[in-house]
Amino acid sequence: MRETDRRTIMAGIGAGLVVAAASGACAAPRDRKIGYAIVGLGGYAELIMSKFAECEHARLTALVSGTPEKLERFGARYQIPPTHRYSYATFDRIRDNPDVDVVYVILPNSMHAEYTVRAARAGKHVMCEKPMAVSAAECRTMIDACRAAGRKLMIGYRSRFEPHNRLAIQLAREGFVGPTRIVTSEHGFNAQPNQWRLDRALSGGGSLMDIGIYSLNAVRYLTGEEPVAVSAIESTDRSDPRFRTVEDRITFLLRFPSGIEATCVSSYSSNHNAYRVIGTKGRIELEPATGYDGHKMFVNRDGRTEPRAVAAGKGQHAGQLDHLAECILDDTQPLVPGEEGLADLRVIEAIYRSAREGRRVQLDA
């Protein structure tokens, strides 16, 4: 986004959002489904669109893309009329579409702030993919924009709606294996070349922004605490053309107010997806922990390790879509609001700083 465009958009938060804010309460009639517009029709958006069939309270009503062929193809597949298909240039017209309640931003990270602000200015609630933005400052701008517009902002942390993760949170926080002392969380995959995630201008960073955020977010929701200090080490082979502008591996240690310590791994050159909560009486393990499917849980207590079966229930993707819809219908606060995304970005910035400066970084309360 050009700097002049960014200034124009951000300047509209104060004055331009007043009209949207004047619309009043966010509650909606309970006898209808909440309409979503999907912005950005890449691979993950294609998965999300397929999940509306599982939703009780949400439906797909509009599409936004810079590729006419995608608008035509997905519009036909999901019966979205031409009047409800938008380009990025015509996006702001969405304010006049009463079938759209929520704008779901599924774009490269550097575009999240712009389209969240524009959606709020159009009087729409927002679901934004993680990471929420490329800086904590942009996160605050997004929060302020939605607050000024009287609209809800939720971040797409789908794992918070996945049954195994929900049970792990419950067991860990209830002390099922005793008070938590250590958490390990490791996420990585072998990144393929020639994708926007490997371009810092679009992604804002490398593996940490993309997959490492799962390691970070997991230790935050498993402990229910915010870290007070971080130490990090980066390991990147700059001769690898994939990593010309972004990092490969970062290992980071977080310390929490209660004394819990968490060791986390973020990687673009190794495959792993797991976490372990270690208490005084045992441990809780998930592997895979935060994938799209195939989650497995094991619980060790008093020397015995057993698998823990979890009822499937509603899928995590449909669960998050319906959750925001219900929050709008009932005028309640989302489980993972913009402040959750801001909390992750604050820690991510500290992780990068620690790795860059080679020292431990304290986090403000």
Residues known to be catalytic: 130, 214
How big is the CA angle at 83 (ends 317 and 109), to the nearest 5 degrees? Answer: 40
Q: How many helices (H) and strands (E) does the chain have?
A: 11, 15
- 224 near 356, Cβ under 8 Å? no
Token pair of 161 as six digits: 């709606």
CA distance 272 to 13: 41
CA distance 14 to 219: 36
DSSP state of 191: P
Tell whether omega for the bond before 131 is within 30 degrees of 0, i.e. cis. Answer: yes
Helical (H) or strand (E) element with 103: strand 102-105
Q: What is the identity of the amino acid at 170?
A: Q
Angle at which helix 3-21 crosses helix 136-149, to 10 degrees, equals 30
- 124 near 37, Cβ under 8 Å? yes
Q: Which residues pair with 254 in a beta bridge?
A: 230, 262
Token pair of 295 as six digits: 């989650």
